[in-house]
Amino acid sequence: MTTEATRARFPWGLTVVCALAFVLLASLGVWQVQRMQWKQALIAQAEAVATAPPVPLYPPRSARPSARVEASAVAPEPQPAATTLQELPKFPEFQRVVVACNWETRGYVRLRSIHEGVAGDRIITLCQQFLVDRGFVPDGATRPITRLYSSEPGGREIAVIAQARTTPLPSPFALAARDGIFYSRDNKAIVKALGGDPGHFGSQVLFAEQSTAPEAPALIAEPPPAAFSNNHLGYALTWFGLALAVLGFYIALLRRKPSLKPSRSEGEASGTKESS
């Protein structure tokens, strides 16, 4: 009788629920620790490549960089050979590269954006099968840009330093492009609008760190800031704390549960029945 009552009163359902909750919360804590380690590695990589010398995207046909790119700033190695459209490079995030184009002859589209709280347009050009974000032009500029001029007479090819970044996919609720103005960074659509082949797009966007049109001072050549938020340790501690809380709740509930042994009155009653 005592064994059967003990088995009947043991909270198997509560035990299973608490065990599943504990495992789930602890797993979420471990996942956040792994995310923290990944984020720390990403930050370290970004800091390393951001301070490293830029590498050439392709050898410029003009055989000489712009005066704005010092010779000592360009890494002599590696020197990539001419790359076919099927062998476009994939750079590490935040890698600095030297990209050369005849900027005057390049068509461009405008992407509505906000820079330091000011609304305006980002000017995007297709160069060597990469999208180059040439910079930001605020609304109401004193000299509105209707044409972006080259810094050399005759529109010769010049080189500037840019930063390789991977941009997020556009929101499905973003407004559609109209009259050459985009409202989301839909890279494939931008490549197509610029007359390029989306299938040969290099997947990364190169953000110019130097002006591609010094004669247009309204053009701010500055990549967007890297938004790194490493709050995963706090999240991990929260999940682990909740897991411990579930465990404590389960232990406290077991201790407050009535004794599984038969009470004295029950024993006396059973003894009376047996004697009778």
**Residue 114: pLDDT band with limits 50, 70, 90:** confident
DSSP state of 211: -
Is the confidence at residue 104, as pLDDT, over 90?
no
Q: Which residues pair with 208 in a beta bridge?
A: 162
Higher-pLDDT residue of 273 and 169 is 169
Q: Which residues pair with 182 in a beta bridge?
A: 111
Lowest model confidence (mean pLDDT) among 99-103, 166-170, 263-267: 263-267
Closest to 121 measured CA to CA, from 109, 129, 113: 113
Higher-pLDDT residue of 63 and 51 is 51
Higher-pLDDT residue of 99 and 255 is 99
The pLDDT assigned to 162 comes to 92
The pLDDT assigned to 31 comes to 93
Is-contact 171 156, C-beta < 8 A?
no
Average pLDDT for the chain: 76
Is the confidence at residue 26, as pLDDT, over 50?
yes
Domain ranges of the chain: 2-41+231-263, 60-208
Q: For the residues 6-13, what does the mean pLDDT come to?
A: 69
Query: 122: how many CB neighbours lie within 10 A of its CB?
Result: 24
C-alpha to C-alpha distance for 96 and 91, rounded to whole angstroms: 9
The pLDDT assigned to 66 comes to 45
Higher-pLDDT residue of 63 and 221 is 221
CA 44 and chain centroid, separation: 15
Amino acid at 70: E
Q: For the residues 98-122, what does the mean pLDDT come to?
A: 87
The pLDDT assigned to 129 comes to 85
pLDDT tens digits for range 53-62: 888 886 545 4
pLDDT tens digits for range 247-273: 998 888 888 765 545 555 555 555 555
Is the confidence at residue 113, as pLDDT, over 60?
yes
Residue 120: its H or E element: strand 118-127
Higher-pLDDT residue of 65 and 33 is 33
pLDDT tens digits for range 179-212: 889 999 999 999 999 988 888 888 889 999 988 8
Judged on CB neighbours under 10 Å (0-12, 13-18, 19+), 102 is: middle
Query: 190: how many CB neighbours lie within 10 A of its CB?
Result: 23
Q: What is the pTM of this model?
A: 0.62
C-alpha to C-alpha distance for 115 and 121, rounded to whole angstroms: 9
Three-state SS string over 28-86 comes to HHHHHHHHHHHHHHHHHHHHHHHHCCCEECCCCCCCCCCCCCCHHHCCCCCCCCCCCHH
The pLDDT assigned to 7 comes to 52
